[in-house]
């Protein structure tokens, strides 16, 4: 245990004047702030299983602690002889040896955070990974080819599209992409709860079908209340063998073909791709993005509504309809008339 200052004073008195002065001097040394490195920050990596002597040498060599003696005395003072934890630690200001050892004893290792929003594809995640300085995009895309991480739940998978769970991840520097990918798959497994599994089994859906449907839901709406409604539209269409005609599947098909420029044309709707749900019936062959947990839940618990259509209201929400005539009216109101009015306002403002 750490000694109290009173205990130290008693020890100093017992040592006599000379010993007391030395003891007081060393007490000051381990509590005085110190910075012996030149830059604004210094990183110290402590591998698992190394001795306290090795840890001390790394801290001294890095200019974080003044010398070996200060380290040894601070180690005795803090009582951290057997509790220093492995990890990479960042130091960016003068600190006392006691404070340094408390940081390492608590395991407050350095980590950078990266957030993957819902609805991203593998390629979009890879670009984000590179743009945040975590590594090359190609390292990410190569790591996601390891479908063995999910073969037990999706034997048909050839990559990890849809199974990289959108979340915030804290990573030490130089974390390989493969380790991040493993964490993301692990988070997916945790999110794909027993309740979702039981609902999927009741609906006779495979994991791949659930994740694929959930990815369409994720791409179609970001409004929480609408996810079960979008799920119902696609579920109802699948029941009557009606084409899903989902624009996000066309976008994904164009992206895979390297032809997407941010727009969908009439010609694009005829693109010969198994992901094009305007051309091929049923679900696409696999997920088109990474769904969040709410979309996974919606995929197996669609709303009990008769809707077969929906169209954007241009405010982030959608208008739903059960019949084609209702849908056409919604299209006219929220698309045709909306943009006609917008052009009129634009012209009148000139």
| Residue, of 185 and 87, whose pLDDT is higher | 185
pLDDT in tens, 160-189: 999 999 999 999 888 899 999 999 999 999
| Cβ neighbours for 138, distance < 8 A, ≥ 6 positions apart | 126
pLDDT at 23: 63
Q: Is pLDDT at 13 greater than 50 in this prediction?
A: no
pLDDT at 28: 84
Q: What is the number of alpha carbons within 13 Å of residue 191 lying toward its C-beta?
A: 24
Q: What is the mean pLDDT of residues 242-263?
A: 93
Mean pLDDT for the chain?
Answer: 90
Q: Please, what are the domains in the chain? A: 5-106 (3.30.1490.480), 111-191 (no CATH)
pLDDT in tens, 50-68: 999 999 999 999 999 999 9
Give Cα separations from 133 to 138, 166, 311 (angstroms). 13, 18, 38
Supply angle C-alpha 339, 262, 221, rounded to 5: 70
pLDDT at 175: 87
pLDDT band at 278 (very low <50, low <70, confident <90, very high): very high
pLDDT band at 16 (very low <50, low <70, confident <90, very high): very low
Q: What is the mean pLDDT of residues 272-291?
A: 96
């Amino acid at each position: 245990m750490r000694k109290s200052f009173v205990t130290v004073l008693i020890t100093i008195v017992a040592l006599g004047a000379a010993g007391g002065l030395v003891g007081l001097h060393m007490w000051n040394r381990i509590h005085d702030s110190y910075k012996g490195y030149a830059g604004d920050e210094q990183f110290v990596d402590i591998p698992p299983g190394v001795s306290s002597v090795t840890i001390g040498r790394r801290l001294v060599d890095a200019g974080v602690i003044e010398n070996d003696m200060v380290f040894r005395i601070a180690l005795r003072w803090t009582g951290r002889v057997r509790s220093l934890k492995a990890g990479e630690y960042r130091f960016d200001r003068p600190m006392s040896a006691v404070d340094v050892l408390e940081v390492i004893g608590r395991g407050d290792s350095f980590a950078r955070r990266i957030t993957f929003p819902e609805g991203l594809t593998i390629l979009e995640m890879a670009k984000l990974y590179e743009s945040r300085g975590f590594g090359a995009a190609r390292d990410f895309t190569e790591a996601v080819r390891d479908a063995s991480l999910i073969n037990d739940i999706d034997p048909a998978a050839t990559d990890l599209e849809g199974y990289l769970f959108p979340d915030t991840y804290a990573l030490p520097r130089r974390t390989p992409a493969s380790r991040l990918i493993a964490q993301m798959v692990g988070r997916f497994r945790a999110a794909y709860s027993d309740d979702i599994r039981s609902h999927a089994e009741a609906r006779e859906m495979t994991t791949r079908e659930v994740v694929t449907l959930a990815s369409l839901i994720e791409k179609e709406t970001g409004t929480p209340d609408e996810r079960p409604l979008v799920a119902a539209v696609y579920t109802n269409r699948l029941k009557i063998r009606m084409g899903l005609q989902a624009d996000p599947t066309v976008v994904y098909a164009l992206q895979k073909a390297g032809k997407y420029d941010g727009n969908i044309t009439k010609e694009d709707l005829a693109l010969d791709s198994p992901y094009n749900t305007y051309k091929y019936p049923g679900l696409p062959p696999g997920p088109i993005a990474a769904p969040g947990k709410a979309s996974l839940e919606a995929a197996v618990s669609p709303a009990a509504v008769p809707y077969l259509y929906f169209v954007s209201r241009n405010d982030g929400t959608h208008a739903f309809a059960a019949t084609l005539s209702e849908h056409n009216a919604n299209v006219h109101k929220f698309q045709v008339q909306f943009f006609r009015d917008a052009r009129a306002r634009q012209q009148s403002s000139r």
